[in-house]
Amino acid sequence: MTLAELPATLQSAVDRAGWKALMPVQAKAIPYMLAERDLMVQSRTGSGKTGAFILPILMRVNPSLARCQALVLVPTRELALQVSREAEMLGEGTGVRTVVVYGGVGYGNQIEGFRKGAHLVVGTPGRILDHLLKGSLSLDDVSILVFDEADRMMSMGFYPDMEQIRRFLPRERSGFMFSATYPASVRRLALHFLRNPEFLSLSEGAVHVPQTRHAFYVAPAMDKDRVLVRIIEAENPSSAIIFCNTKAKVGYVTQVLQRFGYDADQLTSDLAQRARENVLQRLYKGTLRFLVATDVAARGIDVANLSHVFLYDFPEDQESYIHRAGRTGRAGAAGVAISIVDLMEKTELGRLAKRYSIEMEAREAPTEESIQTVVSERVVALLEAKLRNRDRIQMERMRRFIPLAKSLGESDDELAIIAMLIDDYYQETLHAPPPEPPAEAGAPREESPDGGGRRRRSGRRRG
């Protein structure tokens, strides 16, 4: 697909946007969407993925039908606004109307947008579900379903909401998933919502999901513990091994994680055999979320669906990096190997990447402010879901405390009580691995970007 192959209205739109050519993810993904072939795309922020699904949506939507025809699910308010702005910019002159939907604001403007006939709805799963349950939004005419940043949606605990949304979707639809990583939970999500999806990665034009991505954060040695916790809060990995070079450092990091409320245990060479067996048994069963270990865990341990490996200390030799990183991305699953390095270790990491031809992604360490935003969005989403599941008697009982809640919010001293309750709920709920949907029959097939055509579809049924 090239710019010249787009309709004249969209050529004008991308010209206004200043695009000189389609980005690789756009050129390769758009033909799938136009052919209504379900697709999983491995893409990073800044790769042009938003245009990759907005442009074909604009080409497929019928402006004369004043109904929601395309639904884009995103994990955060900020991303919802970003996607809607790009849709409105690119859709100028096409007659396609976009409504953005997210929690934390009133329903009035969103409902008014639906009444005017929104063709494209972009929103967070929780608020979308609210509208569906209220009857203010119908998905009966949706033919395009897009998951944007699916890994973040899973890490934020949105799966139960998405599963409920699934009940309102017509079976006759095409689905597309964009995600920076494809851990087992996201792949299973795809199998639950997409039909025979194909994988598209931008790695040398191949159609596959890279098994392991490599990234690093730069942090002073004295700040690594705090940076590690902030990265874990941002990524919310379902499971991970955290490698340190010494037994003393393993003990320290384990203690830090435990004090922050994480389910963490340690594994070193001097651990008693019975204790080592107990730790490994929990790890294999998936009941231990974080294992902090020396290189004793870098070889011989094969854990299915281990989503992350963290290198808290840079390994003493380059081969050890390969063994440590090799604990994730196994058995066809996708994983992430994350290094936390100081400036000197960054130089060593660069030499290692060059030697093994590894693409290392440099990332900015999350700030306290960004983590506060992420944590707030997660806990609001979960609390809203919990509120939706309350029955009439529970709602009546709860209303007794509304005056008290209002009074507690009137002074800083009493606000600490509310913050304490929210923090307790967060620790109990979010520090568990995110829920994973059951696997379904029919694994995704891998195919070249040129292969295949439109699939035959069954009659319309609620799915």
Residues 183 and 335: beta-carbon distance below 8 Å: yes
Residues 342 and 279: beta-carbon distance below 8 Å: no
Residue found by looking up tokens 């009941």 in the block: 287
pLDDT on residue 129: 95
Q: What's the CA gap between 106 and 230, in Å, rounded?
A: 31
Q: What's the CA gap between 459 and 148, in Å, rounded?
A: 27
Neighbouring CB atoms inside 10 A of 123's CB total: 25
Domain borders along the chain are 3-201, 212-368, 390-430
pLDDT on residue 442: 42
Residue 122 φ then ψ, to 5°: -115, 125
**Which residues are paired to 292 by β-bridges?**
242, 266
Q: What's the CA gap between 149 and 182, in Å, rounded?
A: 10
pLDDT on residue 272: 84
Q: What's the CA gap between 162 and 148, in Å, rounded?
A: 13
Q: What is the mean pLDDT of residues 149-171?
A: 88
Q: Do domains 3-201 and 212-368 have the same CATH topology?
A: yes
Closest CA relative to residue 41, chosen from 56, 23, 29: 29
Q: What is the mean pLDDT of residues 79-90?
A: 91
Q: Taking 80 as the threshold, does the pLDDT of residue 431 lie above it?
A: no
Judged by DSSP in three states, 292 sits in strand
Grade residue 463 by pLDDT with cuts at 50, 70 and 90.
Answer: very low
* Inter-axis angle of helices 412-430 and 368-388, nearest 10: 80
Give the HSE-up count for residue 251: Cα atoms under 13 Å, Cβ half-sphere: 6
Q: What is the mean pLDDT of residues 1-24?
A: 78
SS3 content of the chain, % helix, strand, coil (to 5): 45, 15, 40
pLDDT on residue 330: 57
Grade residue 298 by pLDDT with cuts at 50, 70 and 90.
Answer: low
Q: Taking 60 as the threshold, does the pLDDT of residue 260 lie above it?
A: yes
Q: Taking 90 as the threshold, does the pLDDT of residue 142 lie above it?
A: yes
Q: What's the CA gap between 296 and 267, in Å, rounded?
A: 8
431: left (phi over 0), alpha (psi -120 to 50) or beta: alpha
Q: CB-based contacts of 412: which residues, under 8 Å, 6+ apart?
A: none
N- to C-terminal Cα separation, the chain: 32
Grade residue 169 by pLDDT with cuts at 50, 70 and 90.
Answer: very high
Closest CA relative to residue 340, chosen from 323, 318, 357, 362: 362
| Joined tokens for residue 209 | 């999901």
Domain 3-201 is classified in which CATH homologous superfamily? P-loop containing nucleotide triphosphate hydrolases (3.40.50.300)
Closest CA relative to residue 119, chosen from 58, 50, 36, 168: 58
Q: What's the CA gap between 398 and 336, in Å, rounded?
A: 42
Question: Model confidence over 51-83: pLDDT tens digits?
Answer: 889 999 999 999 999 999 999 999 988 889 999
| Joined tokens for residue 212 | 């392991």
Residue 176 φ then ψ, to 5°: -140, 135
Q: What's the CA gap between 379 and 157, in Å, rounded?
A: 9
Distance of CA 199 to the CA centre of its chain: 17
Q: What's the CA gap between 156 and 78, in Å, rounded?
A: 14
Question: Model confidence over 94-109: pLDDT tens digits?
Answer: 899 999 999 878 889 9
Grade residue 156 by pLDDT with cuts at 50, 70 and 90.
Answer: confident
Q: Is CATH 1.20.140.10 what the domain over 212-368 is classified as, yes or no?
A: no
Residues 37 and 57: beta-carbon distance below 8 Å: no
Grade residue 333 by pLDDT with cuts at 50, 70 and 90.
Answer: low
Q: What is the pTM of this model?
A: 0.69
Grade residue 211 by pLDDT with cuts at 50, 70 and 90.
Answer: low
